[in-house]
Amino acid sequence: MAPWFDWWAEESHRGTPVVVKMENPNWSMIELESPCEDDLLIGRSDKDRGKNAKQLTWVLLLRAHKAAGCLSSIASAMMAVSAAVHRRIASGRTDSDIVNENGSNESPIVRSRFFNCIKLFLWMSIMLLGFEFVAYFKGWHFGSPHLQLQHLISAPFEVRGLFGSLYSTWVLFRVEYIAPPLQFLANACVVLFLVQSADRLILCLGCFWIRLKGIKPVPKRPAQDIESGKDDYFPMVLVQLPMCNEKEVYQQSIAAVCNLDWPRSNILIQVLDDSDDPLAQILIKEEVDKWKQQGANIVYRHRIIRDGYKAGNLKSAMSCSYAKDYEFVAIFDADFQPTPDFLRRTVPHFKDNEELGLVQARWSFVNKDENLLTRLQNINLAFHFEVEQQVNGVFINFFGFNGTAGVWRIKALEDSGGWMERTTVEDMDIAVRAHLRGWKFIFLNDVECQCELPESYEAYRKQQHRWHSGPMQLFRLCLLQIIRSKVSFWKKANLIFLFFLLRKLILPFYSFTLFCIILPMTMFVPEAELPSWVVCYIPATMSFLNILPAPKSFPFIVPYLLFENTMSVTKFNAMVSGLFQLGSAYEWVVTKKSGRSSEGDLLSLIEKEPKHHRGMSAPNPDSMQEASKQELQVKSRKKKHNRIYTKELALAFLLLTASARSLLSAQGVHFYFLLFQGISFLLVGLDLIGEQVE
């Protein structure tokens, strides 16, 4: 037998595709994708060859059709994006219009300082890019900047010309005066980055240990209760539902708390309405009256003056004379829907545990798959709850109260000084003061409470500004109190260095400074360098760790990394405003709700509730007629539009300019990072992420 046949049989036995070419003109080249089972026929007749040609033609046609469909989809998407960009530019609405509409007390000069600094860097980068392009085409770009300088200085002025003299002066100036401080700042930010990454890694290892050992907070129940399956522990619980102009979500939240499985004689629900919208007041009050008629123990409270915002609302509610009759208070924001067994799964942890001050439940999100923005938020918050909150709760019995979906011992609130209106993070404020008084916290990762995520970038931006400016306000106010407290040195160190400095101040500082300012500058000052592992590998590893608690979000790991760097602008600005008490640090804007959970979840809740609780309120049309007309008139005058965000756009052009400069230096990793990060800033700056509004 021919040697080639032995070789073909051996490779076919291995399952290797083999191409055999025969010299016989009646046979053709064929590809065997799997070994033949019965026959080893290699040749093909002219008829079979024609049949295969037709099949190949159909395959090529199908692939061409698929490619045309993909091109058509891409073209449609590009047209939609172009139309959206055109609408943004034509409307001329920017983020400064948002500030003006909200009536900010911050000086326009103070507000524009940050933007002016970004614009300065942008214009400098454009000018330097022009310099570098001319130098590149003149052949002045050698491997080392010192070779550039030596070549230019050694040439006579007639050869260098005016531009050559200016360029050589620039190279000399950046080598002597710009590169050393820039490299020092870059190294400092890299050190901070590594410390924060180590902290993140330790938290992940702690979460892995908790899962490996099955560590879980367990209520202290008597042995007879465990054996019988009964528990008669039903202390007096006050349920507070603060809200403000939230007509989209008030029904399901009131329905959810009214269906909590707890003896009616041992529970009181306070609906704390701070609405200044007459229609919202009427709707919420009639909803409360409806549930009261159905037998719920519920009261409606309305404040005319919103002093202290949410903290003032809660403080006012706790000042009621009947509040002293209750031992615990459960707090839910307006878009939260606790399950009926929420109190049965949280309150028992307080039994026979007098040191316990707070039981915090995890959040879950009904609209996490609504758009790209909600998916990216879900990654962040999943890591926050499953890793940060759970690890801190298990190992040190302290974490920041999330402001909702938690149960407080009223004695702990009173012992810590009660609610204070001094910051926009009253939840973190009361948690820190309670921790300093020796109270312990428990986080329940298996008890979830449904809520909504902001679906528009505008709403998410305002929320993040408040969440990152408030901690810096609180840090300034309570630093001396922490130092003078009687808690152990390690608890003081954890509060000051980990809780505040590392996770609230250093994180937004290095994220913005390192990736949005220093990295672009190193493209124009190549004497200062950032290694590839800082730009790519460690951020990718940290993003991978962040996404582990939400494994279904792995396809979004790259957008998540880019979006987190994009949000560093807002977080850095908020951190600075809170640290130095700028006007925007004290703004409180209620996060916009869409009411996504008000239909399916509410219907399923109604199906489960007792008969005497069935039905939702139908507000009296006569009492609402005048208020509805007023609201329609306001809506006709105020229309919602997507806006252009100037800081993000300026940084987009800065990063894209730096990416063009890195292309001249053939820096692959830096080029791709700057390019995609610039595109990310561009999309966010044009408000193309999140909810789209005509």
**Residues 235-286: pLDDT tens digits?**
999 999 999 888 889 999 999 999 999 999 999 999 999 988 899 999 999 9
Interatomic CA distance for residues 107 and 82, integer angstroms: 35
| Exposure letters 510-526 (e unless 16+ CB within 10 A, then b) | bbbbbbbbbbbbbbbbb
Question: Given this model, what pLDDT does residue 677 score?
Answer: 94
Q: What percent of the chain has pLDDT over 90?
A: 51
Other Cβ atoms closer than 10 A to 386:
19
What b/e readout covers 112-147, taking b as 16+ CB neighbours within 10 angstroms?
A: eebeeebbebbeebeebbebbeebeeeebbeeebee
Pick the residue with more confidence: 86 or 540? 540
Q: Are strands 328-331 and 406-409 parallel, antiparallel or unpaired?
A: antiparallel
Q: What is the tens place of the pLDDT at every residue in 356-365?
A: 999 999 999 9
- Which residue has better confidence, 404 or 4? 404
Clarify whether 199 is annotated catalytic. no
Helices (H), 529-599: 532, 538-547, 557-579
Taking 60 as the threshold, does the pLDDT of residue 154 lie above it?
no
Find the mean pLDDT for residues 317-325.
92
What lies within 8 Å, CB to CB, of 147 at 6+ separation is none
pLDDT reported for residue 168:
76
| Mean pLDDT computed over every residue of the chain | 80
Q: Tell me, what's the pLDDT at 95?
A: 63
Tell me the pLDDT band of 37, cut-offs 50, 70 and 90: very low
Longest dimension (CA), the chain: 104
Say what the pLDDT of residue 611 is. Answer: 38
Reading phi first (left if > 0) and then psi (alpha if -120 to 50, else beta), residue 275 is in: beta
User: Residue 68: which pLDDT band, with cuts at 50, 70 and 90?
Assistant: confident
Which residue out of 274, 335, 429, 687 is catalytically annotated?
A: 274
Query: pLDDT tier at 94 (50, 70, 90 boundaries)?
Result: low
Position 508 scores a pLDDT of 92
Listed residue (614, 602, 616, 594) closest to 252, CA to CA: 602
Predicted TM-score (pTM) of the model is 0.80
pLDDT score of 190 more than 70: yes
pLDDT in tens, 609-648: 443 333 334 444 454 444 444 444 444 344 556 678 888 9
Residue with the bigger pLDDT between 422 and 83: it is: 422
How much is the pLDDT for 229? 52
Greater pLDDT, 425 or 604? 425
Say whether pLDDT at 137 is over 50.
yes
The residue behind tokens 């329905």 is 255
pLDDT tops 80 at residue 115: no
Say whether pLDDT at 27 is over 70. no
Give the CA distances from residue 26 to residues 5, 8, 22, 23, 468, in Å, rounded to whole numbers and listed in that order: 19, 20, 9, 9, 77
> How do residues 551-595 score in pLDDT, each as one tens digit?
999 999 999 999 999 999 999 999 999 988 876 666 667 777 776
In DSSP terms, 94 is beta-bridged to 644
Which residue in 273, 333, 335, 427 is the catalytic one?
427
Q: Stretch 447-476: mean pLDDT, rounded?
A: 92
Q: Which helix (H) or strand (E) element contains residue 17?
A: none
Residue 194 confidence (pLDDT) above 50: yes
**pLDDT of residue 658 exceeding 50:** yes
> Active-site residue 274, yes or no?
yes
Element (DSSP H or E) covering residue 613: none
- Does residue 138 carry a pLDDT above 60? yes
Beta strands at 356-365 and 406-409: parallel, antiparallel or unpaired: antiparallel
Alpha-carbon span 364 to 128, nearest angstrom: 48
Per-residue pLDDT band at 63 (split at 50, 70, 90): confident
- Model confidence pLDDT, tens digit, residues 519-534: 999 988 888 889 999 9
